[in-house]
Structure 1
Amino acid sequence: MGVLSLGNTAFEGNNSTYLLGLEPNATTTLIDTGISIPETRQELRDGLGRYDLSFSDIERILLTHHHADHAGLTGEIQAESGCQVFAHEADAPLIAHDPDAVAAESDRMQRVIDEWGMPDGKQAELLAFLDSTSDVRGAAPDVTTFSDGRTFDLGSVELEAVHMPGHAAGLAGFAFEGRDGEEVFSGDALLPYYTPNVGGADTRVEMALEAYLETLVRIIDRGYTRAWPGHRGPIIDPAGRAADIVVHHRERTERVLSVLDAGSATPWEVSAELFGSLSSIHILHGPGEAFAHLEHLAAADVVSKTGRAFERVDPNPDLDSLFPDVSDALGPAGR
């Protein structure tokens, strides 16, 4: 397996792309492709060149989700190689730049940022940023869809698609049997040093925090021995890392409620207390995550919503009941 670290100047953090099928008679496969900007394109070409490969040698691309920093170069690679491209059925229309899917996503985002109470000036700033980075999605590929449980035989290894929604509606990992047990390419479902955004990264996800908590429990239950994330290096204790993220969201929920102790607030106002001043993509991610927590609390009747604002209605909620018990899986950072 080749691990290719690709720069990502449009957003933050390097991406990790994985090259599989390097053995004789195996299917040369990329998991994710990086963002469509000149620097990253050259980095990917150089990385493949270290294995005496070029874009034209890629036979299959498996995408973890639709975000441009994971799928942006896919269409260009497919144009050079004629390779098959696979993505989960929930994200495939966006990856393929389907006009109806793109329009629906844009309309939904506009509606929710207004519902979150985002000021007009910040809405304009966000939309200008998104417009300025629209080219990073790259050329549209032809995409073949898959669903949870689909397997891909690369000749050298078999991968199982594992649906991991939360950060994105169609986020999928790819599990395989490693030397010491089952491992997984986790995309942005599990990251080593920071928590994936939930609520703003994909506004299509209904009950985003609940969906993501279910994904984290699934990661714990699978007992992976190693995870290969979409950013940075491998995670040697995936269950422990997943449990740490559950604890993080439990603590963030307490912070959200502490904001409401001062009175009702919109998701935008809550995000300002949690994250301070926001710019670029964080204008979307901050209130989106605040809303995901408020939505989770509202479903449990801990808070209620009037208009755009939420208020606390249960003075002494059992917050532990809103989160899975992950005490047995907690890693060193959470113990």
Structure 2
Amino acid sequence: MARVLHNLLLFLLRLAQGVRVLGYWSLIYGYCALCTTVALLKLWWSIILRPTTTFQWVIRETPPGCLNDTSLGTHCYVRIKESGLRFHYVAAGERGKPLMLFLHGFPEFWFSWRYQLREFKSEFRVVAVDMRGYGESDLPLSTESYHFEYLVTDVKDIVEYLGYNRCCLVGHDWGGTIAWLFAIHYPEMVTKLIVLNCPHPSVFTDYALRHPSQLLKSSHFFFFQLPRFPELMLSINDFKALKALFTSRSTGIGRKGRWLTAEDLEAYLYALSQPGALTGALNYYRNVFSSLPLSQNHVRSPVLLLWGERDTFLEQEMAEACRLYIRNHFRLNIISGASHWLQQDQPDIVNTLIWTFLKEGEGRKSYRN
């Protein structure tokens, strides 16, 4: 009798787990369907209002001059033996100085750190990487190639290739997520962690599940799960949606700060118009729901979190909640008037706050190998 009850209990537990998993994926794909319907309606409406809508785009063959600005650094490449992938990065500052590594977000590339490359090269070896799937780095075709574990390992391999065993790590948006995860899994390799407009992964997950407002702001996560259609929506009318993302009043770069120039915008369009570029960028989102949970989630490095007050993609309340996951010094600065792209529209303030943080505590000697 006891054995029968034991087996019945196991069956019920497995059934409950199966129902939970089924409900989880039903919710995700149901929301995907809703977001797709909204996108289709917008597309249909734009075709009616603008019959000249074109589904083709121009592949930019010549990079704008700003990408070859020598004041930003030297263009370099590295092929990682383990993954076989080639990465592009821009480096400045003397070799042997402490390493400051920059990880960009979506839909950007190394160029988003142009103001920081100029600022910190005086005392650091500054390196801004094109992450896998972006810019001139390799673009793996399979979605599985963009799992978090591979993205984190990329950072480790690049740091070691550059001849360092630790660095000051700076990340924004998706680059911020990878920076958080890298600091969690390789704490000995991060002297200080600087994250811009990206909450700790556990904070984002918990908050989004409990606050419908954030779930609505994250609707693009669900829409981007679809194959090919998001690429179409982002690229029609010569990347009109991406242009709006960078320049509109609600989401764009620069309101009270520095505006994105026409040449700066063309640099982004040059990178994103290359074959496969949009798919590589979107594959970061296509793995987010299937990634394994963190085995442990506390950060032991000193952390600076910078947050743009005008971020339209993330609720500001998540920033303070990150404190719960820091086992070291934590500084949070909310920058008034700054957008989600705060290192570009408020670079002077961002750079000043980073300098202040770098000079706190252990001092500059802590950055050397």
Structures share a fold, TM > 0.5?
Answer: no
Instruction: Name the TM-score, length of structure 1 as normaliser.
Output: 0.29
Higher gyration radius (CA): 2
Q: Between Structure 1 and Structure 2, which shows a larger proportion of strand residues? A: 1
Instruction: Name the TM-score, length of structure 2 as normaliser.
Output: 0.27
Q: Between Structure 1 and Structure 2, which shows a larger proportion of helix residues? A: 2
